[in-house]
Structure 1
Amino acid sequence: MANCVRFSPSDLPDGTKPRMYFHDSSYFGANQTLPSPAEVLARSLINERPSNPPPVKFEELNLIVKFGPTVSTSEALCLWEIRKSLNNQVPVPEVYGWDSDGQHVFIYMQLIHGVTLFERYDSLSSDDKRAICQDLRRIMSQLRAIRQSPSNQIIGSITHGPLKDRILDSHPGTGPFPSVRQFHDHLSWLWRRIAPEPEKVIDPWRKSLPDDGPIIFTHSDLHRKNIIITSTTPARVLSIVDWEQAGWYPEYWEYCKATYSVGDWEDWRCGGWIDSFLTPHPQAKEAWDFTCNSIGGF
């Protein structure tokens, strides 16, 4: 793993501000101004997909703007922290700032020119897949270099707020949690709480969730659609996008979420490719699958 980089929430820009522009980013080098929320909405498909509008591209500005009811400044702060702490060793879009209109947060980011791993997967050779997985293994190693202070470790968002994972966000109590044990106890309670006397229900999977494992910074949605690769051969990873669910999770979480995003029968999973860049956690995965099935996460 890369050299450890100590993280503190106090090092982050203030995510509670309705507007923040990073004028030291490359976007403002040419004295450009960012499109206003109204200009973004004018180009968007929000009327067709109000609950989940797609990001808006400004090709002429090399800019993409992500917005919507589930978008928060936490994602912008993740991108800011990764680039600041890891010196571009984890390829993510450069974030230029955010704005809001009272209803939505608008995150302004670098437009990455490439194709998703999902789009190109069926045409990739084994050598291409191997090269991509080598890139991903290096990227994951670098990402895990960001560590919380030993005296201030939590399970939660990058700001030490509630978790953003979509599997959990429709259920009560998304944290933050002061320890891995308390987080696991909460997961166990989530599926037992529907019983008349949940405290009397024995959880056969609880012991499979390791309370002594480390807390690491996690993307939490390594779907192939969120991995941007080159359109040429040999294929290489250009960027990891969509950090809205990222935060501090138990070590096994990244592996469980990555395998959750693909069918058991698909080559990306059954071909061993995920296992080549993320450490498998078979016991935790069984417990995780049971819990997510029980709370309706799938």
Structure 2
Amino acid sequence: MTLQTPVKLPYFCNSAGLPGPLPTPDEIQDASRRHGWGSSGGVCVIRGIFLVKYGVKVTENEGNALLFVEEHLNISAPRLYAMYHDPHSKVLHLVMEYIQGVDMESLWKTLSVEAKSSIASQLRPMFTQIRSINPPPDFIGGVCGGGLPDPVFGTMSPDNNINGPFKTDEEFSSALALALRNNWEQNGRYGWLSGYLSRHVPTALKGYRVTLTHGDLHMRNILVEKVPSFSGSSVTGVGEEGTGQHWSYQVKGIVDWESAGWYPAYWEYASAVARFQSEDDWLESLDTIIKPYPQEASIILLVLQGLQFI
């Protein structure tokens, strides 16, 4: 697998693949006002068929990741219809398919054990497929090349030793250690955790294959829809037992691909665990969706704590 060639901007998909005319600037502006978004950026839905994401933090990596997924994978993810800079504000706009569904985070506590198991069983082959794509040789970085899009590897000014891209997972883990050390120095303090991890992370996290990675495997980025169950096996949520109606939950899409890229195989799991901020049992399901890397997750948790990302 070679790297995805980034599309030239402005990008517009073939009009035959559109569900309707692309949103006009006035439509986007009006929808943004209704959603309370300012000129700095936001997300708005247009006509119930388009989702527009725009702002200073929106990157071409997300648009190119969606194009890569559409071309190489058969999973539920939004289609990219357009990517361009607004001629006046110069802010990047992504016009995507609007996927009807509810984010799993808002539903999780109401779901039965069976419903959670059903959702996990639908996600498992999707992430298996994502991770089965052959990586480009000797490369860890964004979908199309360049540095790593995860904010952990961001710096105020360019620094390839932290931003990447990298050739090996040892360089990748060294970047984590360097980012941690720089963070402590910039804050005028030096703790035992920073020194300890700086010494040991580069050797503790090496020897992993590289995989295509979504980069933000969180419940809020998984959309599901409740549909009547006709299979004879009921998958119900809390409060639905005894109503005579059986429901199942269908995964409608995996969204928010801005951090997608080529990472060491442990990163999807480890970063998801390290960034987990809830008291529910999502991690039990996560263990069945992708291969667990508990030791690596423990290390990344300490790194993100040191970086003050969590």
Whole-angstrom distance in 2 between the partners of 1:168 and 1:237: 30
Question: Is the CA contact 1:53–1:68 (under 8 Å) kept in the aligned structure 2?
Answer: yes
The partner residue of 2:263 within 249, 266, 282 is: 249
Identity %: 26
Whole-angstrom distance in 1 between the partners of 2:123 and 2:204: 25
The equivalent residue for 1:124 is: 111
Q: Which amino acid aligns with 2:173?
A: H
Structure 2: which 5+ residue stretches go unaligned? 228-246
Superposed CA offset, 1:164-186 (max 9, x none): 11233246531111211111111
Superposed CA offset, 1:28-70 (max 9, x none): 6xxx43123453123214995448643111135x111111111
Task: Identify if the C-alpha distance between structure 1 residues 69 and 235 changes in structure 2 by more than 3 Å, giving closer, same or farther.
Answer: same
Structure 1: which 5+ residue stretches go unaligned? 1-5
Return structure 1 stretches of 4+ with deviation > 3 angstroms. Answer: 36-39, 45-54, 193-198, 200-205
Q: Which amino acid aligns with 2:168?
A: S
Question: Is the CA contact 2:142–2:165 (under 8 Å) kept in the aligned structure 1?
Answer: yes
Whole-angstrom distance in 2 between the partners of 1:242 and 1:52: 18
The partner residue of 1:139 within 112, 126, 132 is: 126
Question: Is the CA contact 2:31–2:46 (under 8 Å) kept in the aligned structure 1?
Answer: no
Aligned length: 278
Task: Identify if the C-alpha distance between structure 1 residues 56 and 221 changes in structure 2 by more than 3 Å, giving closer, same or farther.
Answer: same
- Considering only aligned residues, what root-mean-square deviation do their CA atoms show, in Å? 2.6
Secondary structure (helix, strand or coil) at the match of 2:291 reads coil
The equivalent residue for 1:267 is: 281
Question: Is the CA contact 2:3–2:143 (under 8 Å) kept in the aligned structure 1?
Answer: no
Larger radius of gyration: 2
Task: Identify if the C-alpha distance between structure 1 residues 51 and 263 changes in structure 2 by more than 3 Å, giving closer, same or farther.
Answer: farther
The equivalent residue for 1:229 is: 224
The equivalent residue for 1:297 is: 309
Query: What's the offset of the Cα at 1:197?
Result: 10
Task: Identify if the C-alpha distance between structure 1 residues 288 and 59 changes in structure 2 by more than 3 Å, giving closer, same or farther.
Answer: same
The equivalent residue for 2:231 is: none
Task: Identify if the C-alpha distance between structure 1 residues 56 and 263 changes in structure 2 by more than 3 Å, giving closer, same or farther.
Answer: closer
Is it true that 1:168 corresponds to 2:157 in the alignment? no
- TM-score computed with the length of structure 2 as normaliser: 0.81
Query: What's the offset of the Cα at 1:218?
Result: 0.7
The equivalent residue for 1:212 is: 207
- TM-score computed with the length of structure 1 as normaliser: 0.84
